[in-house]
Amino acid sequence: MFSFISFSNNTLKGLTILFIPALVMACSPATEETTSTADSQIVAQSATKSKEQAEPQLTTQTIKPLLEVYKDPNCGCCQKWIDHIDQNGFQSNVINSQNVNALKQNKGIRPQYRSCHTAISKQGYVFEGHVPAKFIKQFLAEKHDKALGLSVPAMPIGTPGMEMGDRFMPYQVLLLKTDGSSEVYAVISSYKEQF
């Protein structure tokens, strides 16, 4: 299978003399410099990759819009609605109050548009009652000159925070205007349309 070549001592000495300079050159400082440069490039590429991997995490982190939510401290459905908005792109700051109606009156929310809790955005818009987060996002992305905010009057069954099994009551989201009037902003006919 294999044939072994037999070298004399003189031949081995001759080959050694030929290969030693090549080995010395391979271990010379120039090669170390090349290796150091290659190592530096690998380290630099690794650092760049680490930076690139870290950057998307920073850029994908977005600040959630804040809603200040005024509610009665004993209201359970209010807390469920707060959980809904927190899970759907908002951050809530809850303010428990025994006199939420005074706030509603101060903000210009007429009695026929009121519900159990009132949320206020950074821009000063009000979101009265169980308004789905989907419509709050939509509203905040639009331009509204004479709008007070949105309302879901009363507490319709099946709205976010008012879930009762499979029961659902169709309802309207109203656009409240600064002059005290309103108009229909959205008509919700099924539970799924809220999300």
Q: How many helices and strands (H and E) does the chain possess?
A: 5, 7
- % residues pLDDT > 70 (the chain): 69
144 versus 10: which is more confidently predicted?
A: 144
Q: What pTM, to 2 d.p., does this model score? A: 0.68
List, for residues 9-25, the tens digit of each pLDDT value: 554 444 444 444 443 34
Rounded CA-CA distance 47/7 in Å is: 51
List, for residues 55-101, the tens digit of each pLDDT value: 444 445 678 999 999 999 988 899 999 999 999 999 999 999 989 99
